[in-house]
Structure 1
């Protein structure tokens, strides 16, 4: 059974409910899930326990920050097969961006989900984030199970290597000429191959 890491914002009841809905939809489709606020460490509940053991407020917070980072990184990179990153919001939650970046760099299948029309760049999301999902975005929770099957079926070519190769080509074009029209023509013809 494939295990899905559900990355997304968790800072209020509505965000947690949306993440619960994503996990429930995936579980109903036969996937196992890791949902950080359900299956991980809950800062507010564990911090008092550390303080009872003698940790200062600051020390307890540092211990928990390290533990949450370590557990979530382990779950994402070792235990989970696929990552679904919920990007809802005008800008994506910074933790979700890190989790999506970890997945991309590790070559994990990654599905980007965004049902929110708000965006930072007048209708478009930051290309540094969209590129992590090969500029594919799912906008319906019900479509996530199929999107997972699709990303697995496509296979994960080495996205890092591909981006580096494309970036090197663009850098050479840019260094060799200030002719933006000429560069645009080359980029356009390469995109149609």
Structure 2
């Protein structure tokens, strides 16, 4: 059974509720999930326990920061088969961006979800983020399970290397200082939708 890491903002009741809905949708489709605020470590509950053991306020916070980073990274990279990243909001939550980046670089299937029209760049999200999901963003909660299955089925073996090769070609053209039209032709032939 596929296990999906659910990345997204968790800093208020509405955000946690939205993440609960994402996990519930995936679980209803027979996928298992890791939801950090449900299945991970709760800072507010563990901090007083560490302080009871003699940790200072700062030391307890430091211990929990390291523990949360370690647990969530382990779950994402070792225990989960795929990642869904909730990008809702004007800009994506910074922790979600890190989790999506880890997934992309590790070759994990990654699905970007955004049902929110707000964005930082006049209707578009930052291409450094959407590129992690192959410039595909799922905007319907009900479509997430199939998008995860599709992402798992896709060949991702050369994803990072292909991106670096394209970047190298573009950098070379830029460094040669050629005509803009030559650069545009290269970009068009390399990246036009197939």
TM (normalized to structure 1)? 0.97
**Which residue pairs with 2:15 in the alignment?**
15
CA deviations 1:93-147 (Å, max 9, x no partner) are: 0000000000000000000001111111111111100100000000011100010
SS at match of 1:121: coil
Work out the number of aligned pairs and report it: 193
SS at match of 1:19: helix
Give the Å deviation of 1:157: 3.0
**Which residue pairs with 1:95 in the alignment?**
95
- The whole-number CA distance in structure 2 between the counterparts of 1:91 and 1:19 is 16
**Which residue pairs with 1:83 in the alignment?**
83
CA deviations 1:65-96 (Å, max 9, x no partner) are: 00000000000000000000001110000000
CA deviations 1:32-69 (Å, max 9, x no partner) are: 10000000001001101001111100000000000000
- The whole-number CA distance in structure 2 between the counterparts of 1:76 and 1:190 is 32
CA deviations 1:154-180 (Å, max 9, x no partner) are: 221322111110000001111112411
**Which residue pairs with 1:171 in the alignment?**
171
- The whole-number CA distance in structure 1 between the counterparts of 2:122 and 2:15 is 23
Give the Å deviation of 1:189: 1.9
- The whole-number CA distance in structure 1 between the counterparts of 2:150 and 2:62 is 40
- Which deviates the most, 72-81 or 172-181? 172-181
SS at match of 2:85: strand
Q: What stretches of structure 2 of length at least 5 have no aligned partner?
A: none
- The whole-number CA distance in structure 2 between the counterparts of 1:48 and 1:190 is 55
- The whole-number CA distance in structure 1 between the counterparts of 2:58 and 2:178 is 53
Q: What stretches of structure 1 of length at least 5 have no aligned partner?
A: none
CA deviations 1:10-34 (Å, max 9, x no partner) are: 0000000000000000001000100
**Which residue pairs with 1:122 in the alignment?**
122
**Which residue pairs with 2:187 in the alignment?**
187
**Which residue pairs with 2:35 in the alignment?**
35
TM (normalized to structure 2)? 0.97
Superposition CA RMSD, Å: 1.0
**Which residue pairs with 1:141 in the alignment?**
141
